[in-house]
Amino acid sequence: MTATDAREEALSAYPIPVSPLPPPGSRQAELNRAMSAASRSALFALSDSDVVFRDDWLLVVNKPPGVYCESVLSSSSARIGSGSLLHLANRLDRDTSGLMVMVSVSTDRAAAELARAFAEREVEKVYVASCVGSKPRWGRINVASGHGRSRHGIWRVYAASDVGRSLPGGSTVKRMETSIEVVSIGGRGGEKGEEIVVVEGPPGVRSEACESSCEGDDDREVVLVRARPRSGRTHQIRLHCQYLGIPIRGDVKYGGAGEWDGAVCGGHLLHAESLAFEHPVTGARLELRAPPPSWWPAEATPVLEIS
């Protein structure tokens, strides 16, 4: 057996992703965005208008897109009553805007309790996104799949039956579940039906799932969605939107349109809209909501139901 044969045989023992690799050109686009974000982050200064909630233990801010979490953290330490150093309780991707929680490190109890709540999925999270794709036939969908890094080091969607299987590099496929609701399609209301998708099957199942859940590929429209992650995987909402055939606008890494309606997308349009959790010190229930992003139309923002 040659070295090539041995390598191919070893790779065949790993599960095969059901989502595609990033398209050509996406790597350069991501590099350009990273360089712009580095410059923007170096100059970032948190303002009072960015603060959504604060007390002696917590600071919750509305992170802008195109800024790294660490830059928000470094400019936030003087903005809680105790004046103590802060620790990130949750993280948002560079281009994702919305609610970011920081907790005082002077209170071990608060930091530990909030970390546990996020880790055990006790924090209710809602995101909004502007996607581009064919008209979904569903109004609300729950997608359950696997999640992990392929041999290319890229986060991919795997079949649910692959959860627990080993991946290149020593990690394993983890469970990933997201509930997604259509808010509008091309400025109009979407379908009302509900569907449950458990990702299974051989490579190529992604296109079959899209055929069963979307009208077709001829007429792409802007699809506004609300997403509730039921697990906490890296790039979870972005991956599931890609899998469903409605990649997030500007998300070039996962098949999203880099340009739309004559304008270049500087980043993906994903926003952490709300968080609900028990205060780690007082025990009070906090239901926090960020202002909507500039790309989210006011008429598409009904009263939020946290569930």
CA 127 to chain centre: 8
pLDDT tens column, 8-36 = 445 578 999 999 999 998 999 999 999 99
Interatomic CA distance for residues 144 and 123, integer angstroms: 19
Residues 6+ apart with CB under 8 A from 103: 57, 58, 59, 86, 87, 89, 110, 111, 114, 280
**Does residue 261 carry a catalytic annotation?**
no
Domain ranges of the chain: 15-22+129-264, 45-120+275-295
Is the domain defined by 45-120+275-295 classed in CATH 3.55.50? no
Q: Looking at this protein, which amino acid is placed at residue 182?
A: V
Q: Which of 93, 95, 162, 251 is catalytic?
A: 93
pLDDT tens column, 184-216 = 998 777 667 777 888 875 554 444 445 445 555
Interatomic CA distance for residues 121 and 141, integer angstroms: 20
pLDDT > 60? residue 304 = no
Interatomic CA distance for residues 145 and 177, integer angstroms: 6
Q: What is the pLDDT of residue 303?
A: 44
pLDDT > 70? residue 124 = yes
For residue 157 the two structure tokens come to 């969607």
Q: Looking at this protein, which amino acid is placed at residue 180?
A: I
Q: What is the pLDDT of residue 202?
A: 56
For residue 43 the two structure tokens come to 């100059």
DSSP code of residue 244: T
